[in-house]
Structure 1
């Protein structure tokens, strides 16, 4: 199979709108706007925001609102959800929200759909009022959403705006479920390899082997998530990475916090077992921390192995200047 040249792979951004320790949430949104405008100038293809709830360090809970904010502050970059957790919402509401976004920003909105709650059970109950809607009926929810966007919806209920609006649907996943559904429906697929690397190749195999051409896609199109933190020195990059590592372990402990500044001595904060887990995560092929030369080689190897059509990059960095600079390095790697 033909593999695109490394330099021709489109790049996207995944933004969780991190709320820094000691900062106001308003600053988070200013940082996201600045980052979106920055990567637009660098030639990135799209900018996605992820739905999470009840997490003090993540500000993208009202995902569609923030998508509109980012789209309004940029000119050409595609803006979308990575993703909207469909079981949390009535498909009609999502159709109306994204129909509105696409109407305001025509040709620039993506709708990435996930089946996980993006939260714990108590939060899921608060969002849905009951737990009758779950990931098990995700295929039916996707079909209902597609119907609202169609030119001739079946049934008495219509999405206004939404009807006959062509908005790209993506299925997102961290296992094989959404990979197979995306294949059967002929939709683009985005795999969360940045936090589920062990299932990546299996999911991609399911997607490619079962893909059925559709009016949307003639061939499979897979976008893979990677965590990339680049700095001039290896030491600086690894130090910056301790912010996201602290966030990961606070979630593992069931004690989510705001996004914390880098730390010098891991052993003063974590147990030996947690540090061992962190080392394992850092060794993942979808986590790339280091100098431009090191990360470029890791990214090139990753793309060659996976045959990714597009790469979506999350750079969880506490200091905005370092965050912007990390994306600068990534853009230069692909030129």
Structure 2
């Protein structure tokens, strides 16, 4: 199918495979970043996940430093810093330090996890039945995942509190984004008018992004400030269309970004043939199940281990949206699926994430996709 050329970028969680450890996962992240640069990927972003036994990217700024030191040209950054936990100043200082050692190629992606939700007032609307799974221009749009049950699990709130200093409370998201921008620009003032200088940080050539999974506050904050925006199809495929629409509706042009800039994420696994791709993807359902039942990401199971981790009907229903929207198959099939996602969302860039138990298979997936998409060609 006809495809307008858009960049592909990498989102990495530094996943820990069963039988391996965090040190191995981090070495593999650095290795994948080197290859991604060689194969023509545009950015290499690190996610932020806490208290998950199967993920080594709990401190993305540190891992970004490792990746920046091992690469030369690829952009490096966060996808995304969870602003519910650090202060604006600490974020600017961390990423200002990264910019000092990798000038001009650091991205600061911001997320709202752990933030205080802004209330629009009034009583909540009564729940309505979820829409059925539909296919729009060849892209699967499942019913939105409802996180309420996950957020109410015993221990969830206590785990969140471990990430904050004692007594700290979540800040307003838009205000914190504004503080970051002011610190970078050197215009920040305390409430009594005292100037604050972030060093390193002030004047850093960071590219700011906002990531979001719904048409709510993240999309509105990004649009109102004229910032680039990432819609998380890989996390919340059922809301991607409303998310992108909300961002575009809220967008206010700026000198730096006169038009909306949309990046869309996707979960991908590519192999030479369909049976191999399906076999390599067998651990994905149990892995997502662990996340959505409050355990956090488990060490990623091998295909053989996954055969013993059968999902019952309730568990399969819990993860079905993610199973249905992962792009799995041959290079041509996955490239076609990603092109349809790009066309449907009018994305300017796609952010792909791939997890396999075997590191060589993960490298091969990214290489096959790069070739199928035409990365690195003149």
The interval holding the TM-score normalised by the smaller chain is over 0.9
Given candidates 327, 332, 335, the residue that maps to 2:371 is: 332
* Runs of 5+ unmatched residues, structure 1: none
Assess if the C-alpha contact under 8 Å between 1:79 and 1:110 holds in 2. yes
Q: Which residue of 2 aligns with 1:71?
A: 68
SS at match of 1:9: coil
Assess if the C-alpha contact under 8 Å between 2:103 and 2:205 holds in 1. no
Normalised TM-score (structure 1):
0.92
Q: Does 1:147 align with 2:182?
A: yes
CA 1:27/1:60 → structure 2, altered by over 3 Å: closer, same or farther? Answer: same
* Runs of 5+ unmatched residues, structure 2: 116-150
Assess if the C-alpha contact under 8 Å between 2:285 and 2:323 holds in 1. no
Q: Does 1:24 align with 2:59?
A: no
Residue 321 of structure 1: CA displacement?
0.7
Residue 68 of structure 1: CA displacement?
0.4
More helix by share: 1
Q: Does 1:43 align with 2:35?
A: no
Assess if the C-alpha contact under 8 Å between 1:10 and 1:309 holds in 2. yes
SS at match of 1:127: coil
Separation (CA, whole Å) in 2 of partners of 1:27 and 1:239: 23
Residue 132 of structure 1: CA displacement?
4.8
Assess if the C-alpha contact under 8 Å between 2:286 and 2:309 holds in 1. no
Assess if the C-alpha contact under 8 Å between 1:239 and 1:264 holds in 2. no
Separation (CA, whole Å) in 2 of partners of 1:162 and 1:146: 10
Separation (CA, whole Å) in 2 of partners of 1:124 and 1:23: 26
Q: Does 1:199 align with 2:239?
A: yes
Deviates more, 1:196-205 or 1:248-257: 248-257
Deviates more, 1:272-281 or 1:59-68: 272-281
- Map 1:296-335 onto structure 2 (within 5 A): 296-335=335-374
CA 1:300/1:327 → structure 2, altered by over 3 Å: closer, same or farther? Answer: same
Separation (CA, whole Å) in 1 of partners of 2:362 and 2:184: 37
Q: Does 1:157 align with 2:193?
A: no
Residue 139 of structure 1: CA displacement?
0.5
Assess if the C-alpha contact under 8 Å between 1:266 and 1:275 holds in 2. no
Given candidates 153, 163, 168, the residue that maps to 1:127 is: 163
Given candidates 228, 239, 242, the residue that maps to 2:279 is: 239
Q: Which residue of 1 aligns with 2:205?
A: 166
Assess if the C-alpha contact under 8 Å between 1:7 and 1:334 holds in 2. no
RMSD: 1.9
Separation (CA, whole Å) in 1 of partners of 2:166 and 2:266: 34
Residue 278 of structure 1: CA displacement?
4.1
SS at match of 2:303: coil
Count of paired positions: 328
Normalised TM-score (structure 2):
0.82
